[in-house]
Amino acid sequence: MPLAISTIVFAIFTILLYFSKIGEASYSFLVAATALFGLVLHGFDRLKEIDLKNLRVVLMELQETKKEIFVREENLKSMAIPLAQMVAFTGVSEGRIGSKESFSANRKWYKKKLEELISSLNFSEKEKKEANKFIIKYEAIDKLLAERSALQTTDPDYKETKEKLEKLSDELIELMKQDYEK
């Protein structure tokens, strides 16, 4: 069918050229375009019809898929906060037995990995604070212990440091209780 239409249009253009209604350059362009159009339509069946109704349905389906992806991203984020908290808690609580260098390296490594996790998930400030709440408490413990590997009864500030450590420990326990009682 496309070849038949192209042949008819070719004949019309030839008649127009014969009666000098179009110029030779226009004739050449129109015949070439008609031949190309006929060959393309003949060779590619999919180009023969344009179905705008189905195109609209496809666009609607794309919008629905976009909404589903957004919902799944929100679900992922809600799962990621507890995951980040577990990573943070594990990183700050383990490694107390060992050299100061290994303990310090361990803490820095975990903190860096937690920061990478948080930045990759584009946490809000509130979510960042929630993910880092254990790190903040353990950093306070580290500051209290300063350069010592452990608190010893012979330390001059033993009593007040012990009270502060117990207070921070109680706060950590309270943070954990708040999480599992939700």
| DSSP conformational letter for 157 | T
Give the pTM. 0.46
pLDDT tens digits for 104-160? Answer: 777 777 778 778 877 877 788 888 888 778 778 777 877 877 667 677 888 888 888
C-alpha to C-alpha distance for 103 and 121, rounded to whole angstroms: 27
Give the per-residue pLDDT at 96. Answer: 54
Ranges of H-type helices in 44-124: 52-93, 100-120
**Could you give the CA distance from residue 5 to residue 123 in angstroms, rounded to a whole number?**
61
If you average pLDDT over each of 18-27, 70-79, 148-157, which comes out highest?
Answer: 18-27
Give the contacts of 16 (CB within 8 A, at least 6 positions apart).
22, 27
CA angle 44/46/50 to nearest 5° reads: 130
Q: Among 84, 89, 98, which Cα is nearest to 173's?
A: 89
Instruction: Report the pLDDT averaged over residues 49-53.
Output: 58
